[in-house]
Amino acid sequence: MPVFVIANPKGGVGKSTIATNLAGYLAKQGHSVMLGDADLQQSSRSWLALRPGSLPPIHAWDISDGHVARPPKGTTHVVLDTPAGLDGSRLDDVLRIADKVIVPLQASMFDILATQAFLQKIAARRGKFSAGVIGTRVNIRTRAAEQLAHYIGTVGLPVLGYLRETQNYVQLAALGATLWDVAPSRVDKDVAQWEATLRWLED
């Protein structure tokens, strides 16, 4: 059962956008997918509560009386969203079960500096899992994208791709939906930006 972890201790970088859309892609492929949070608030349940029953199902954690969270029986793929500030033993617990780690990162020097120590920690622990970076809210034709790729290269992690800033993600999230739940013609530019990341995840 592969476990995909979406992590960055900085908030507002697009972790939930990537987590929900990855879960939506896997569900569209016919997998039994669990989308969970690596914190007690389980905020992904709020998004899942908006998801229409007509769409491919995505499941939440099963929470026992002792507040122990576990994947529902029959789960084949797990996507874990993580909270801002994830560090220390909580980060170690998440990385211990990860098969692939995706780090969303905006192409601003402030975001890069705020995430620098975390990226170095992830790079140092590679081998136990695979890890890569997705540039979020990035125009690939800009100098900022070049600078982001250069910096990530010095850390030793691959840049999996770049996701542009678009209202598609905002509007679909409000409906409990993902890029793979609507007509392809509506989101073709955004789906194309995911292709390299999905190939990496399926490798």
**Average confidence (pLDDT) over 156-166:** 92
Q: Determine the Cα–Cα distance for residues 17 and 2; give it in Å rounded to an integer.
A: 20
Query: What's the domain range around 112?
Result: 3-202
- Cα dist from 140 to 86, 102, 158, whole Å: 28, 18, 15
Q: Which residues contact 81 (CB under 8 A, 6 or more apart)?
A: 6, 15, 16, 19, 20, 35, 36, 37, 38, 43, 44
**Average confidence (pLDDT) over 79-108:** 90
Separation of first and last alpha carbons in the chain: 14
Is 10 within 8 Å of 87 (Cβ atoms)?
no
Question: Residue 115 belongs to a domain with what CATH number?
Answer: 3.40.50.300
Q: Which residues contact 150 (CB under 8 A, 6 or more apart)?
A: none
**Average confidence (pLDDT) over 29-40:** 89
Residue 196 has pLDDT above 90, yes or no: yes
Q: Name the strand (E) or helix (H) holding 131.
A: strand 130-136
Q: 41-48 contacts: CB < 8 A, separation 24 or more?
A: 41/83, 42/69, 43/16, 43/81, 44/16, 44/19, 44/20, 44/81, 47/16, 47/20, 47/173, 47/176, 48/176
* Count of structural domains, the chain: 1
Q: What pLDDT does residue 144 have?
A: 78
**Average confidence (pLDDT) over 160-167:** 94
pLDDT band at 52 (very low <50, low <70, confident <90, very high): very high
Is 121 within 8 Å of 157 (Cβ atoms)?
no
What pLDDT, in 10s, does the model give residues 166-187?
999 999 999 999 999 999 999 9
Q: What pLDDT does residue 40 have?
A: 61
Q: Which residues contact 126 (CB under 8 A, 6 or more apart)?
A: 156, 157
Is 163 within 8 Å of 137 (Cβ atoms)?
yes
Q: From 137, 135, 161, 160, select the one nearest 148 (Cα to Cα).
A: 135
Is 132 within 8 Å of 156 (Cβ atoms)?
no
* Residue 33: half-sphere exposure toward Cβ, Cα within 13 Å: 22
Residue 69 has pLDDT above 80, yes or no: no
Q: Determine the Cα–Cα distance for residues 163 and 59; give it in Å rounded to an integer.
A: 25
